[in-house]
Amino acid sequence: MWYSTRADLLRYRTFLRGEKLFMKIIMLGAPGAGKGTQAKKIAAKYSIPHVSTGDIFRANIKNGTELGNKAKTYMDQGLLVPDELTCDLVVDRISEDDCKDGFILDGFPRTIPQAECLTEALNKLGSKIDYAIDVDVPDDNIVKRMGGRRACVKCGATYHVEFAAPKTEGVCDTCGDKLVLRDDDKPETVQKRLNVYHEQTQPLIDYYTTQGVLKTVDGTRDLNEVFQEIVDILGE
């Protein structure tokens, strides 16, 4: 028998065993930990949508939906979108047909109220989160990773002094202009973002540990090794 994707074969095998394939996943991890990269790789392997809150906001605002217009009123004032509205937008997205076999949430939830809202909404749909994968990287590693980034002020090309260095130090390979360390990547700025992340996310780690779905992977290794550990958790 021929299958169009590996995920189709996986679904067929679980059907034969009388089981249901669960792939409702939350990605956790500090800024710069690489969770977005891993989320995209998981989405490609298992043929499930990579659902980013940023993409949800942009799509709803662009399409002029009721929820999108509500979110825009807050964003235009420079205010944070309330947890309940953010949750409504996410639930609306994961209720779409392409998410029926699963999804990967990237960037949501960020707080306990958001997590509780998501749990309640999924319960009403007769569903639940199956895995919360925490890509764990020590702060020092993240500061080093992000502090090594360089960007071209002219064409926007990006480099890393250790992992993707330009041919000539401080000079863009593409246009020859100078490379700079962006304010967002400066150690003091990165550390502030990490402090906020830990304050918000440690309770989330405890929350999903209590629910029995938290899985932690070592994000300090090569990205393909990290991905293989995630595959080992989710199953081939």
> Which residues carry out catalysis?
35, 110, 149, 182, 193
Strand partners, 54: none
Find the angle CA(33)-CA(34)-CA(35) to the nearest 5 degrees: 100
E-state strands within the chain: 24-29, 50-52, 103-106, 131-136, 149-152, 158-160, 179-180, 214-218
Tell me the C-alpha distance between 206 and 147, whole Å: 29
- Residue 229 structure tokens: 């550990």
C-alpha dist (Å) from residue 58 to 13, 167, 176: 37, 36, 33
Number of other residues whose CB lies within 10 A of the CB of residue 64: 9
Element (DSSP H or E) covering residue 143: helix 139-147
Q: How far apart are CA 191 and CA 176, in angstroms?
A: 31
The total of other beta-carbon atoms located within 10 Å of residue 207's CB is 19
Helices (H) and strands (E) in the chain, counts: 9, 8
Q: Under 8 Å CB-to-CB from 96, ≥6 apart: which residues?
A: none
Helix (H) or strand (E) holding 216: strand 214-218
